[in-house]
Structure 1
Amino acid sequence: MKPGKGDVAIQRKISGRQLEELQKHTWMMCEAYGLDDRVDNYKGKRPISFYQWDLDCLLCVLDMALRDEKEYPDKQDEGYVCLQALHDDLQREYEETYP
């Protein structure tokens, strides 16, 4: 999908454990028009751009991953906490940018 004139992208730098945890779940983004490859290839050195449709997919994937008891049986685990923080930040940015 190509962005149009009025489409606004959110620029976000994701690195460290948040990036590692996000990249574990890119397989769930297989129908997202290249979002899975962009996230897989992202190194965390510069901000990455997400459009509204990218964030829709990301937030759904993060929500499913965080609810998965097999993936995160311990809600105090560092990976779970990092992924939850990323989800909350992206959700807040989404709501601020796309009211």
Structure 2
Amino acid sequence: MKEQFGMKPGSKDIKLEILISGKELSELKRHSWQMVEAFSLDRRIEKYQGKRPIGLYSWDFDCILAVMKNALNDPTEYPEKNDSGYKALKTLFGQLQKEYRKFN
């Protein structure tokens, strides 16, 4: 989180509360290692249990959406588009894109 590094969100920064659970959360956690450089977002995702909404800022969405897009387009990650993991991540990707539009 930005707060841990002495950087605080500005007064105009919006934080959206999103509930992610089940297979969608499992698939997101599977790719969280790619978020390691994003202000400890990887650790936040790994610790997240999906019982309450998680607060995400626009920069969190930027990172998560980029990681998810790369995973969805990587045939070594998801060789079968009918795979339940692929479908769950794709569904979550669409939901997060929709939420991300609220920042604009």
TM-score band by shorter chain is: over 0.9
Aligned-pair CA distance for 1:77: 0.7
RMSD: 0.7
Matches within 5 A, 1:45-60: 45-60=51-66
Per the alignment, residue 21 of structure 1 pairs with: 27
Per the alignment, residue 71 of structure 1 pairs with: 77
- 2:103 counterpart of 1:98: yes
Runs of 4+ in 1 over 3 A off after TM superposition: none
Identity among equivalent pairs (%): 48
Scaled by the length of structure 2, the TM-score of the pair is 0.91
Instruction: String of CA shifts for 1:8-65, please: whole Å, max 9, x gaps.
Output: 1111111100000000001100100010000000001000000000000000000001
How many residue pairs align between the two structures?
Answer: 98
Structure 1 gaps of 5+ residues are: none
CA distance in 2: counterparts of 1:48 and 1:62, whole angstroms: 17
Letter in 2 for 1:98: F
Scaled by the length of structure 1, the TM-score of the pair is 0.96
